Every structure is written in C-alpha cells, then in structure tokens.
C-alpha cells in the first residue's frame, strides 16, 4: 500500500497512523457548541491542532450530524473558503475540505486544500468529475440514507459485507473517472446510518476494510456510540472513550483517525504505533 500521499504538494506520511483534526465552521455544531465560526477563531483553533501534532485539519461548513438540514452553497463557501485560504497560507498542515458539494470542492482546492473528505463518497451530481480535476486524495465514506433520516431505522443483512461492497463500487466509479488508485482513502462511516451493534461490528472487523488495500480513515470522536456505551454520557464526557476507540482503530489498521481532541489522540496513536512496529 502507498505510504505517502501527495496532497497538492504537501506529503502525508502514512507509515504511522496520523490524526486529522476536526474544524467545524458551522454555528450549529453541537459538539463544539458553535465556538469556532469566525475565520480567525477557526484558524486559531487549527493552529493549536497543528502544534498538537495533527497532520491534517478537516474544514467543514455543512453539519452532517443526525437530523441536520442541508446548508445552501453560498453559505458553505462563505464559511469554509476564508478558513482554507488562511490555513494554507500560514501552516504547513494538510487542509482537508469536508463537503459533498462539487463547487465547494473546486473552490477549496483552488484556495489550497490538499484533500477532499466527502461523507457521500462523491455521489452528488458532478462530484466525481470535479474531484478528478482537483487531483487531490479523496476519502470515500459509507453512509446509509441521508443525514436527516439516517438514524431512524438503520438496517443491514450483513453490515461489513454491505459497507465493503459499497466502498468497492465507489472505488470503481472513481477509477473510471480518472481518479488514481493512490489517491483514495476509505471510511466505514461510524454513526452514519448505523446502530451501536453495526458500529461495533465495523470496528471489530476493520481489517476486512484494510484488506482492500487503501488507507482507512476512522471517525469515532465524541460520537453517540461512545455516549451509549458509557451510559448515555453527554458529549463533553466522551474524551477517554474517544481516545480508546481511536487507539483500537489504529491497532486494527486505521491509517488516519479523525478527532476533536488532537493532543491526546496523537499521544495514544504514538503508543499504539510503537507497540505495533515490533511485529
Ligand atoms: C467520519 O466519521 N464524521 S461529521 C456526531 C457526534 C460527534 C461527532 C456528538 N465527518 C465523519 O464528527 N468524515 C463526520 O456526536 C466525517 N468520517 C469522515 N470521513 C460527524 C461527527 C460527529 C457526529
């Protein structure tokens, strides 16, 4: 498998698991309480993530939490583009754009983004073609349903089989559109149209996804699955659960872990990587 990804000139070293810091620019983000929605505040937050060891900062302007409503294009552009520009100008960190909209992908990559993170795996009209033009790595994530309704009644016969089949079909669509194999990352999409049991099965069987031969990205930070496992613990009490889940994911082969709490996650992944390297 490729150990180094070219992210628009910035190199992502995947010989060790890396942390992608989460930077929300959505005023309605309930996990961060909407604290970071001025570009300056967002850039400041990203600075701290970089200092804490994040290899990537994931900039998102569209809330994808369960029940969320879609954000209009211009509003999303207004939120994310100044942040992408500012970050790219100031820090050597790789900027990822968390969006499903092809127009946002194009503008963000023009503004310096080196990765596309799309929870809809480039299924929106025109997204595959734009991503191919952008010529940056793309994370393809699995989701059942749409954010507004995805947690209503998630159903699978075989969650691992269905998620891997979906990812394979998106890989093929991307290769067919001229995106290079070396530019793809895969993500089972924890919490996106999945019950706790589905999420646990996917994490337990992460190696079934890594065998596809692509770097795997895992996002479990602060998610409901942790709240449920910890007796309905609210979001602010999920740090240790998040670190543990991130560590398990890295141990099972995840190459990138998406996290709110960058410093603690970086520490945990260093320990996991050191133990793993003995093998
Ligand atoms: C992901 O897994 N997730 S946005 C609900 C929460 C906490 C956090 C409090 N974008 C992923 O982070 N991109 C999101 O409960 C993502 N993989 C990738 N690639 C949801 C989120 C969250 C939701």
For the chain, which residues make up each domain, given as ranges? 4-276
d(CA 143, ligand 1 centre) in Å: 11
Model confidence at 1, in pLDDT bands (50, 70, 90)? low
d(CA 65, ligand 1 centre) in Å: 7
The structure tokens listed for 241 are 């659960």
CB 196 within 8 Å of CB 157? no
Query: What's the whole-model pTM score?
Result: 0.96
Residue 214 CA to residue 75 CA, distance in Å, equals 33
User: What's the pLDDT tens digit per position in 54-106?
Assistant: 999 999 999 887 777 889 999 999 999 999 999 999 999 999 999 999 999 99
User: What's the pLDDT tens digit per position in 184-206?
Assistant: 999 999 999 999 999 999 999 99
> Which residue's C-alpha comes closest to atom 6 of ligand 1?
223
Ligand 1 atom nearest to 190, measured from its CA: 2
222 Cβ neighbours under 8 A, 6+ residues apart: 31, 235, 238, 242, 260
Residue 220 CA to residue 172 CA, distance in Å, equals 26
| Whether pLDDT at 34 is above 80 | no
Ligand 1 atom nearest to 238, measured from its CA: 9
33 Cβ neighbours under 8 A, 6+ residues apart: none
CB neighbourhood size of 68 (10 A): 16
CATH code linked to domain 4-276: 3.20.20.20
d(CA 279, ligand 1 centre) in Å: 31
Ligand 1 pocket mutation pick from 64, 234, 246 by most atoms within 8 angstroms of CB: 64
d(CA 198, ligand 1 centre) in Å: 16
Q: Is 217 in the pocket of ligand 1 (CB under 6 A)?
A: yes
Write down the pLDDT at residue 63: 83
């Amino acid at each position: 498998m490729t150990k180094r990804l070219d992210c628009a000139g910035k190199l992502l070293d995947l010989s060790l698991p890396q942390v992608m810091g989460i930077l929300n620019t959505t005023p309605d983000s309930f996990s961060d309480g909407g604290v970071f929605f001025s570009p300056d505040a967002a850039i400041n937050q990203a600075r701290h993530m970089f200092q804490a060891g994040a290899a990537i900062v994931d900039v998102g302007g569209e809330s994808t939490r369960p029940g969320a409503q879609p954000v209009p294009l211009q509003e999303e552009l207004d939120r994310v583009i100044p942040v992408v520009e500012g970050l790219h100008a100031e820090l050597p960190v790789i900027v990822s754009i968390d969006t499903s909209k092809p127009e946002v992908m194009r503008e963000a990559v023009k503004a310096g983004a080196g990765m596309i993170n799309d929870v809809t795996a480039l299924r929106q009209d025109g997204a595959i073609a734009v991503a191919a033009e952008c010529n940056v790595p793309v994370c393809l994530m699995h989701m059942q349903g749409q954010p507004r309704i995805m947690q209503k009644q998630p159903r699978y016969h075989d969650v691992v089989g269905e998620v891997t089949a979906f990812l394979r079909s998106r890989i093929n669509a991307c290769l067919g559109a001229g995106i290079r194999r070396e530019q793809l990352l895969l993500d089972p999409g924890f919490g996106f149209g999945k019950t706790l049991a589905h999420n646990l099965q996917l994490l337990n069987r992460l190696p079934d996804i890594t065998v596809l031969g692509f770097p795997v990205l895992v996002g479990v930070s602060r998610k409901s699955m942790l709240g449920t496992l910890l007796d309905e613990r609210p979001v602010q009490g999920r740090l240790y659960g998040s670190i543990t889940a991130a560590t398990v994911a890295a141990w099972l082969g995840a190459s990138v872990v998406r996290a709110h709490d960058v410093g603690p996650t970086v520490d945990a992944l260093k320990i996991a990587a050191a133990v793993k390297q003995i093998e």
